[in-house]
Amino acid sequence: MAKVADTEENMKKCICGGCPSYNDCMKEKMQGLFCARGKTDCETVRNGCICGSCPIASENRLEKMYYCQIGAEA
Ligand code: SF4
Ligand code: SF4
């Protein structure tokens, strides 16, 4: 569980945009890669989390979910 690199390359791999918990506020602010960039300042509701299917999660052996709410992997 290494720290996730905050890079454009990783941002492109982030699948948060397809998540049921990803909302218009996050979209407008072009947020994502929460596991590296930290939690959102948008209001959130837990409608499911697809981090488990994300290549960033497998590459970095992430085991948690809802990084948009819990903040970056330390
Ligand atoms: S693990 Fe979750 S927050 Fe991190 S890049 Fe993937 S979908 Fe986004
Ligand atoms: S961190 Fe998880 S819950 Fe939040 S938007 Fe990304 S995939 Fe969805």
Ligand nearest to the CA of 47: 2
pTM of the model: 0.96
In whole angstroms, what is the distance from residue 71 CA to residue 9 CA? 20
Instruction: Encode pLDDT of 52-74 as tens digits.
Output: 999 999 999 999 999 999 999 98
pLDDT, tens only, 15-42: 999 999 999 999 999 999 999 999 999 9
CB of 35 shorter than 6 A to ligand 1: yes
Determine if ligand 1 sits within 6 Å of the CB of residue 26: no
- Sign of the CA dihedral 27, 18, 51, 9? negative
For the chain, give every domain's residue range.
8-70
CB of 67 shorter than 6 A to ligand 1: yes
